Structure 1
Amino acid sequence: MSRDGSIPAMDAVRRGLEIEADGEAVRLRIELTSNIAESPAQLWPHLTDPSELSRWYGPVGGDLREGGEYSAAGGAGGRILEVSAPHKLALTWEYGTNVDSLLLRLDPEDDGTTELSLVHTCEMPREIFAQYGPGASALGWEIALLGLAAYTGGWAATCQGEVPQPGPQWLTGPEGADFVRAWSIRWAAASVAAGTEEEAARRGELATATAYGAGPVGSAAR
């Protein structure tokens, strides 16, 4: 892991995307991977202890043991499918009528850090995907990982400047808008790489940025 402070915080996450169209739905496999400067054992409680989660993610309640059910901020919830501490957590991610899958993997690195991988597999109505692209789901996880990194200090050695805590005021401010625009651009690029026509991906980029309050793409670097 680079420790020279050369990475912008908006690029501390590596992104992967697979797209499969199936009738009226589009199936997405959205993957975000980042190095966090804590060992898996240190990082695990931040992802599984409700009191820790509330400090960087939001309120989470319920039984977070394997087989238990949980509720999360924003009306999401689901079931805990598999727990293998401190390396793997698999669960359903349910909101409205959607039942998605969410997988967190914590792999140790030789330098004592953790490669954290978050995989969200979901189905999106074709018209929603056509309007927003993968950013409709992916940007929420970008915000969450930024919050985790700010809370743990996990990007301090790798990123330029201070890693911001993405609270509501920050997200609607100039810096937050720049992050949202940059993330929208990057997920549009991932969508093109996965087979989406560029014009359609750019429409989704703009719609996603606008939906998150950032407005038209302007100052963020492509």
Structure 2
Amino acid sequence: MNRIFDGLQDTDRELREHPDGMSILVLRRSYDASPEEVWDAITDPQRLVRWFLPVAGELRAGGRFQLEGNASGEIRRCERPSLIGLTWESGGGSSEVQLRLTPDGESTVLELEHAPVPADIVPNAGPGLWGLGAGWEMGLLALGDYLAGDLPEGRAVDWIATAGPEQVAAATATADRIGGAWEKLITGRP
């Protein structure tokens, strides 16, 4: 197996039912870094651009952010170094994203929760598609590369934009795994 496929094996995926009948996507991944180091990588605009996207705005609780070419929203909670809660406004809709950092020995577990996931997004998470969750997982994988010092020179978005066969295959495999999780949630079958 190649490095990206191996990296995807390190992500725990879960789908839960939201009280309004929609779904909650939860991704968990461990990083060989302290909570402070992971916190700085996900909150410092100069570091965030290296593995995710450029961000602008008033980056504090109550402030608004804008990811270049992507979502915007409001930062609702910011509790260093353990919790970020924000709205995720994209495509005319709004949902909630929470990032929780938990120490685990000399590592840190990052848990990303995105909810509610509207029903019309569910089909986009099907097998073979770059649907819901695949983008988050590729970002979490890039964060791991960044923290390990293995991210190629330049921004992660450039790495994704110039994806070769290995990256495309990894994203497809990720979407397949998430599609399988959706199927389990929808059908109730293991």
Q: TM-score range by the shorter chain?
A: 0.7 to 0.9
Q: Distance in 2 between matches of 1:10 and 1:43?
A: 18
- 3-state DSSP class of the match of 1:137? coil
Q: Distance in 2 between matches of 1:115 and 1:123?
A: 23
Give the C-alpha shift of residue 21 in structure 1. Answer: 9.4
Identity of aligned residues (%): 32
Q: Which amino acid aligns with 1:57?
A: F
Which residue number corresponds to residue 141 of structure 1? 136
2:165 is aligned with 1:167:
no
Which residue number corresponds to residue 40 of structure 2? 45
Q: What is the aligned length?
A: 179
Which residue number corresponds to residue 116 of structure 2? 122
Give the C-alpha shift of residue 197 in structure 1. Answer: 7.9
**Structure 2 unaligned runs (5+)?**
none
Q: Which amino acid aligns with 1:115?
A: V
Q: Distance in 1 between matches of 2:11 and 2:25?
A: 12
Q: Distance in 2 between matches of 1:55 and 1:66?
A: 23
**TM-score, with structure 2 as normaliser:** 0.83
Give the C-alpha shift of residue 184 in structure 1. Answer: 1.8
2:97 is aligned with 1:102:
yes
- 3-state DSSP class of the match of 1:129? helix
Give the C-alpha shift of residue 75 in structure 1. Answer: 3.0
Q: Distance in 1 between matches of 2:18 and 2:6?
A: 31
RMSD of aligned Cα (Å): 2.6
Which residue number corresponds to residue 183 of structure 2? 192
8 Å contact from structure 1 (residues 105, 116) kept in 2: yes
Which residue number corresponds to residue 7 of structure 2? 9
8 Å contact from structure 2 (residues 65, 73) kept in 1: yes
Provide, for residues 69-103 of structure 1, a one-character-per-residue CA deviation record: whole Å limited to 9, x for no partner. 11013231100101110011101111132111000
Aligned positions of 1:22-101 closer than 5 A: 27-101=22-96
Which residue number corresponds to residue 201 of structure 1? none
Aligned positions of 1:175-190 closer than 5 A: 175-190=166-181
Between structure 1 and structure 2, the one with the greater Rg is: 1
**TM-score, with structure 1 as normaliser:** 0.72
